[in-house]
Chains A and B, each alone.
Chain A
Amino acid sequence: MGFITSLLNAMPGAVAQGLIWGIMAIGVYITYRILDLADLTVDGSLCTGGAVCVILTLNGVPVGVAIVCAFIAGLLAGLVTGLLHTVCGIPAILSGILTQLALYSINLHIMGFGTANGSKANLPISVDKYDLLLSSRFVRELSFRNPLIILVILFIILIPVTYCFFGTELGCALRATGANGNMARAQGINTNLSKVLGLMLSNALVALSGALLSQYQGFSDINMGRGAIVIGLAAVIIGEVIFSKVFRNFALKLLSAVFGAVIYYIVIQFVLKLGLSTDDLKLLTAVVVALFLAIPHFKGKLGSGKVKKAAGKETGANA
């Protein structure tokens, strides 16, 4: 009984965290599913978003402006990866790793802005002193400060906007680039430009997620983005495995990535309550993502196995 109560108690927090990571999952969906690129920049740009948001707020910038600046910082991070990939011809996955590594130093400096040695690994911000958009403190409160309500409102705006963007000529060009680059170029689409734009948009959403996460948890930290890509992929893939039969429309596919993130955090809460150490979370995450990535592959194999078995039975019957 105590276990269930404590689990239920942890639910609002898990859902809020899941929703925040859901924004990040939409970013990952754009690169991984639409552009067909594995972009590892996100491990760095998530923290960049948090760092920019917190340092600006601490320095008296209104929180809304700070969030917009975090978004722009994400755009820039994506731009760097995009240029490394398209202009310099470096494979996408390596370009992302390079930017991510560079961002580690940059993030330390952002958070250390104004300090003696200009570098800091953790930057707290208190909801008592600053007017933050959302904070974990109000997650059980029935008011418009509740982060759950704020996040739901955010998605009511974000998903339709993303949906509409991918319905425009430019958005269709991005989708065509990911679906068949050869065909896209033959139809006059600048595929390099598409990739750069997609990477920028994706990292901007990831940085936005980082900005909200740092407010929610009350600090930004140099390690907050470590393994973010895996969590993002987990969200996208869990969402697809569970909802792909029902959610066929593009807007619903984006929503399924968000649900995937929420489910991921609920599962994490569950195993933590079962007694798993937080130190083992990354290992668990990697195993869960590997499993979900493997399911479609094994499903395919099992499918063909059934046909073979059926064929075998028939020959048996004939003999």
Chain B
Amino acid sequence: MLEIRNVTKIFNPGTINAKVALDNLSLTLNDGDFVTVIGGNGAGKSTMLNAIAGVFKIDAGSILIDGEDITGLPEYRRAAFLGRVFQDPMMGTAPTMELEENLALALRRGKHRGFGWGISKKERELYREELKKLELGLETRLHSKVGLLSGGQRQAVTLLMASLKKPKLLLLDEHTAALDPKTAAKVLELSDKIVNETHITTLMITHNMRDAIAHGNRLIMMNAGRIVLDISGEEKKALTISDLLEKFNASSGNAEADDKLVLG
């Protein structure tokens, strides 16, 4: 489904601040995989997702989706294949536009945008139904400006926008990290529901080891721009947090695991 082949990304090359963010990284996802990604700060998790989304050009390697090489495509063209939710709840929606206008933008992802109406009457019914499923009471607020919604509501809307037009790959970049625990749990539950119902192949970054174990069918751990652990199936189901910590220390050669990694 997704193939990352020997991808390298160096930030600030040739300067004293040069940082190898992705180091000859390779990863292959199968159709319907729900992969959780963990790793310390600066391990390259977000860089990997941004490389897939085309936020910057990679220095070496190639990225393929369903066999199609997307390495040279600009960010907006890759969007046709991708649904994205960001860490910052403000990043995924247009605050000055109405809720239904945001959803209409998402429904047209990957389509040519011409002089047809930006939103049609029959779409509204679809939006109302989909918003109802979020159970946040947003189905009555189609005409509200998204900037008036809370962070949790906006993140739920972003999630809906990412999946409204089914993408080939869903990229969740620590999308619950900026929310309070209760809202985070709700958004995570929602993500689980959407992925399980639609079987969208998903990459989800999390700082929370418990979440990484509880969700998805596969878990990868990154360190210094490489994948140091890749566990799936029965082996993943049997994982415990202490297992994971031990493996983290062993694979990274780092005696002290990052506090943030443990406590999330």
Say yes or no: A170-B113 contact (C-beta < 8 A), given A176-B105, A180-B94, A187-B106: yes
B53 is an interface residue with CB less than 8 A from chain A: yes
Contact across chains for A171 and B91 when beta carbons are under 8 A apart: no
B178 is an interface residue with CB less than 8 A from chain A: no
Q: Which of A159-189 contact B (CB under 8 A)?
A: 167-173, 175-176, 179-180, 182-189
Contact across chains for B114 and A168 when beta carbons are under 8 A apart: yes
A169-B108, A171-B118 given; name 13 further pairs at CB < 8 Å. Answer: A168-B115, A168-B116, A169-B116, A172-B118, A172-B119, A175-B96, A175-B97, A180-B91, A180-B95, A182-B86, A184-B105, A189-B105, A189-B113
Contact across chains for B113 and A186 when beta carbons are under 8 A apart: no
A190 is an interface residue with CB less than 8 A from chain B: yes
5 contacts between A and B (CB under 8 A): A172-B104, A179-B97, A183-B92, A185-B79, A186-B84
A186-209: CB near B (< 8 Å → 1, else 0) gives: 111111000000000000000000
What's the Cα separation between A295 and B22 when bound, in Å?
48
B-binding residues in A (CB < 8 A): 167-173, 175-176, 179-180, 182-191
For A183, give its contact among B74, B80, B93, B119 (CB under 8 Å): B93
What's the Cα separation between A188 and B108 when bound, in Å?
8
Contact across chains for A169 and B113 when beta carbons are under 8 A apart: yes
Contact across chains for A179 and B96 when beta carbons are under 8 A apart: yes
Say yes or no: A187-B109 contact (C-beta < 8 A), given A172-B104, A180-B93, A182-B91: yes
Which residue of B has the minimal Cβ distance to A171?
B118
B210 is an interface residue with CB less than 8 A from chain A: no
Give chain B nearest CB distance to A280 CB in angstroms. 37
Say yes or no: A176-B97 contact (C-beta < 8 A), given A185-B79, A188-B76, A188-B110: yes
Tally of chain B residues near chain A (CB < 8 A):
33
Contact across chains for A172 and B91 when beta carbons are under 8 A apart: no
User: Which residues of chain B have C-beta atoms less than 8 A from A180's C-beta?
Assistant: 91, 93-95
User: Which residues of chain A have C-beta atoms less than 8 A from B82's C-beta?
Assistant: 186
**What secondary structure prevails in chain A residues at the interface with B?**
helix
**What secondary structure prevails in chain B residues at the interface with A?**
loop
Give chain B nearest CB distance to A311 CB in angstroms. 24
User: Which residues of chain B have C-beta atoms less than 8 A from A185's C-beta?
Assistant: 75-76, 79
Contact across chains for A167 and B118 when beta carbons are under 8 A apart: yes
Which residue of B has the minimal Cβ distance to A189?
B76
Q: Which of B76, B77, B79 has the most CB of A within 10 A?
A: B76
B96-129: CB near A (< 8 Å → 1, else 0) gives: 1100010011101111011111110000000000
What's the Cα separation between A214 and B91 when bound, in Å?
45
What's the Cα separation between A172 and B120 when bound, in Å?
13
Give chain A nearest CB distance to B55 CB in angstroms. 8
Say yes or no: A191-B76 contact (C-beta < 8 A), given A169-B115, A176-B105: yes
Contact across chains for B114 and A170 when beta carbons are under 8 A apart: yes
Contact across chains for B114 and A169 when beta carbons are under 8 A apart: yes
B161 is an interface residue with CB less than 8 A from chain A: yes
User: Which residues of chain A have C-beta atoms less than 8 A from B94's C-beta?
Assistant: 175-176, 179-180, 183-184
User: Which residues of chain B have C-beta atoms less than 8 A from A191's C-beta?
Assistant: 76
User: Which residues of chain B have C-beta atoms less than 8 A from A168's C-beta?
Assistant: 114-118
User: Which residues of chain B have C-beta atoms less than 8 A from A169's C-beta?
Assistant: 108, 113-118
User: Which residues of chain A have C-beta atoms less than 8 A from B86's C-beta?
Assistant: 182
What's the Cα separation between A223 and B130 when bound, in Å?
56
Contact across chains for B76 and A190 when beta carbons are under 8 A apart: yes
User: Which residues of chain A have C-beta atoms less than 8 A from B101's C-beta?
Assistant: 172, 175
What's the Cα separation between A171 and B116 when bound, in Å?
10
What's the Cα separation between A46 and B134 when bound, in Å?
50
User: Which residues of chain A have C-beta atoms less than 8 A from B113's C-beta?
Assistant: 169-170, 172-173, 189
What's the Cα separation between A188 and B104 when bound, in Å?
12
Which residue of A has the minimal Cβ distance to B108?
A169
Give chain B nearest CB distance to A301 CB in angstroms. 21
Contact across chains for A188 and B92 when beta carbons are under 8 A apart: no
Contact across chains for A187 and B79 when beta carbons are under 8 A apart: yes
Contact across chains for A187 and B105 when beta carbons are under 8 A apart: yes
B18-57: CB near A (< 8 Å → 1, else 0) gives: 0000000000000000000000000000000000010000
Which residue of B has the minimal Cβ distance to A188?
B79
User: Which residues of chain B have C-beta atoms less than 8 A from A167's C-beta?
Assistant: 117-119
Contact across chains for A186 and B53 when beta carbons are under 8 A apart: yes
User: Which residues of chain A have C-beta atoms less than 8 A from B115's C-beta?
Assistant: 168-170
Say yes or no: A183-B114 contact (C-beta < 8 A), given A172-B101, A176-B97, A191-B76: no
What's the Cα separation between A175 and B118 when bound, in Å?
11
Give chain B nearest CB distance to A32 CB in angstroms. 13
